[in-house]
Structure 1
Amino acid sequence: MTNYQLGIFNEEGNIFNVSEFEVTSSDVSTIKKAIRKAVKPVDETIEIVVSFGKTLLEKISPNHLPDKLKSFETIKGKNGHEMPSNQSDLYFRIIGGDASLVLDQTIKIQEALDGISEVVLSENGFKYKDCRDLTGFVDGSANPKEEKKYLAALIPEGEKGEGGTYVFHQKWIHNLQKFNELPVGVQEKVIGRTKVDSIELEGDDMPVDSHVSRTDAKHDGVAMKIWRRSFPFGSAKEKGLMFITYTCDPFRVDIQLDRMLGNTEDGHSDQIMNYSTAVSGAYSFAPSTLELATILED
């Protein structure tokens, strides 16, 4: 498959924006025209991944609705944590290497959609140091390598939506002060990796409630691998991570979220949730470039 949206696998960009919109217009032709205008890049170095929530795709192009696309609903954990939904209609992830151009593209998208939608969330982010989260740990270490990333991320041939991907967006706000008060050895037990060189803990050194343990999931012997493209954000007001993942099947995300919340048989919650809070969550579908062009045709 070579007609996936290129931004999905872009590993070179270091400046990002994610913007989420609720579509308020009922005129399908107007909606499609606005999206066509929005996705035109302001510069050849900018890449955009556009994806659709289930409700919007049912409205503008129901024949292109993949079988497993659903709206995200708030999940409550057995141990007092929860992951809230802010399910919307239309999602844009902008990737670039120049903050000015990423901002220009963000503004262009917002202006193109003005009058047919409302902004639900818009977050700017960046590559922090050597691909680290603001906690100081390397992020995305468990991503599949080489060709395996395509198998993890893309809907396989023969399935509706083939060459596209299911997308999950989730904003997390860190309590960095609380986390940084922990000794480094304790932080490593929370994450499940060493801090400096990002080596996964092994044997008795790996807690069952570490972040690695809770998200390293298997189902019927199959590893539930996903393609993570998260980015940190930060200011004096908020600091956190915009968790973004692409998957061939949303069940792979569901099982990881349930394991983090303690909703599986072993009942263990992810320790990271004592130091970081999920404040949003949404599913969408990013079609292949060929299918996207068809969806947006009048």
Structure 2
Amino acid sequence: MSVDPSKAQDVWKDAGKEVQFTVLELNRKDRDKELAAVKEFVDRFQAITRSLRIRAQESDLHVALGFSNAAWDYLFPNADKPKELETYQTIKGDKYEMPATKGDIFMHVRANDRATVYEFMRQIMMFIGDVTTTLDETHGFRYFEGRSIIGFIDGTENPEIDEAKDYAIIGDEDPEFENGSYAFAQKWHHDMDIWNALSTETQEKAVGRKKFSDLELFDKDKFKNSHNVASQAKINGVTQNIVRMNVPFSEPAEKTTGTYFIGYARHWNVTKTMLTNMVNKHDYLLSFSKILTGQLFFIPSKTVLAKITDGDFD
């Protein structure tokens, strides 16, 4: 077997202009009923995607569906499990922490217009809504030319598309779950009054890049805890990559503004190392932010989704 991106879900940097993240929790009242609903939901998820890509061709719809470790154990207790799938636990440091929150089913939907995202979610919830409770529903958007909500260009360090498969898609190290991915989803709230009170020079030192041109600063010009220093992951001396997207969300009148972070990785350990480093190195972004949610999800390949629908994992 070999990695085949056509068999993977949409785990690339295609942020879209309109985005919705949804986290659901299974009701855990009647497993047989809920498993039957999940099978139908997984099948419909793919069918609705295909249909809307025909109906709304200019919308450029991309979707990803995942399950947490807790959901996998509940739904498929006798099935094999992806090697690195675990229940995310709160990462604590001496000053900051990245909390773990509940979640069984994760959906990441993005398109060029809100109508397509709405229609996708409206239809899909017809098949899963009765057996789940919504824990979080976040609507994000593209901010100008793809900037994060704090004003910097997002995703500069992402690998190019032809290389992304090496960082985002599971390979032959886990043959049964090849072409899957590990997704870490995390919701941040920012105190924008604090951030906006900083000078541009201070903001650049905090992020590690120029705000307008996106040029990376020399190390001597960055804060020691700048974001692009603190969030690096090196394993055996080699810098690691994942595919990451920082999606802005905001309700300005209520002063609710933040970032929804989604990271797709071939190896969960890489993302986990990045998160741990951010806490231990006091990433500057944590100084004006509160993290609201966090959980790890496995994004199955299309092959595994078909097996779920067919009952091969019962």
Normalised by the length of structure 1, the TM-score is 0.92
Go from structure 1 to structure 2 and tell me whether the alpha carbon gap of 1:97 and 1:146 turns closer, same or farther (over 3 Å shift): closer
SS in 2 for 1:138: coil
What RMSD, in angstroms, separates the aligned Cα atoms of the two structures? 1.7
Between the two proteins, the alignment pairs up a number of residues equal to 292
> Are the equivalent residues in 2 in contact too, given 1:75–1:84 (CA < 8 A)?
yes
Cα distance between partner residues in 1 of 2:229 and 2:300: 31
> Are the equivalent residues in 2 in contact too, given 1:64–1:161 (CA < 8 A)?
no
Cα distance between partner residues in 1 of 2:135 and 2:273: 26
Alignment gaps of 5+ in structure 1: 263-267
Cα distance between partner residues in 2 of 1:4 and 1:92: 18
Quote the sequence identity (%).
Answer: 25
Cα distance between partner residues in 2 of 1:219 and 1:252: 8
Correspondent of 2:135 among 115, 120, 132: 120
Paired position in structure 1 for 2:99: 84
> Are the equivalent residues in 1 in contact too, given 2:9–2:180 (CA < 8 A)?
no
Structure 1, residues 213-236: CA drift from partner, whole Å, max 9, x if none?
A: 011221211212110123111112
Paired position in structure 2 for 1:21: 24
Structure 1, residues 115-156: CA drift from partner, whole Å, max 9, x if none?
A: 211001111111111110111111111111243211111111
Paired position in structure 2 for 1:265: none
> Are the equivalent residues in 1 in contact too, given 2:19–2:109 (CA < 8 A)?
yes
> Are the equivalent residues in 2 in contact too, given 1:53–1:87 (CA < 8 A)?
no
Q: Give the helix-richer structure, 1 or 2.
A: 2
SS in 2 for 1:170: strand
Paired position in structure 1 for 2:206: 190
Paired position in structure 2 for 1:136: 151
Query: Cα distance, 1:6 vs. partner?
Result: 4.3
> Are the equivalent residues in 1 in contact too, given 2:13–2:244 (CA < 8 A)?
no
Correspondent of 1:245 among 263, 271, 276: 263
Cα distance between partner residues in 1 of 2:13 and 2:209: 25
After the TM superposition, which segments of 4 or more aligned residues of structure 1 sit over 4 Å from their partners? none
Q: How do residues 211-222 of structure 1 correspond to structure 2 at under 5 angstroms?
A: 211-222=227-238
Query: Cα distance, 1:5 vs. partner?
Result: 3.4
Structure 1, residues 193-250: CA drift from partner, whole Å, max 9, x if none?
A: 1100111111311222000001122121121211012311111231111100100111
Correspondent of 1:98 among 68, 89, 113: 113
Q: How do residues 1-298 of structure 1 correspond to structure 2 at under 5 angstroms?
A: 1-9=4-12, 11=14, 13-25=16-28, 26-27=31-32, 28-39=35-46, 40-41=48-49, 43-44=52-53, 45-61=60-76, 62-79=78-95, 81-159=96-174, 160-236=176-252, 237=254, 238-262=256-280, 268-298=281-311
Query: Cα distance, 1:253 vs. partner?
Result: 1.1
Cα distance between partner residues in 2 of 1:51 and 1:34: 12
> Are the equivalent residues in 2 in contact too, given 1:7–1:95 (CA < 8 A)?
no
SS in 2 for 1:282: strand
SS in 2 for 1:43: helix
156-165 or 24-33: bigger deviation: 24-33
Cα distance between partner residues in 2 of 1:285 and 1:192: 31
> Are the equivalent residues in 1 in contact too, given 2:187–2:259 (CA < 8 A)?
yes
SS in 2 for 1:115: helix
Q: What is the letter of the counterpart of residue 255 of structure 1?
A: T
Query: Cα distance, 1:38 vs. partner?
Result: 4.1
Normalised by the length of structure 2, the TM-score is 0.88
Go from structure 1 to structure 2 and tell me whether the alpha carbon gap of 1:10 and 1:83 turns closer, same or farther (over 3 Å shift): closer
22-31 or 90-99: bigger deviation: 22-31
SS in 2 for 1:234: strand
Q: What is the letter of the counterpart of residue 14 of structure 2?
A: E
SS in 2 for 1:130: coil
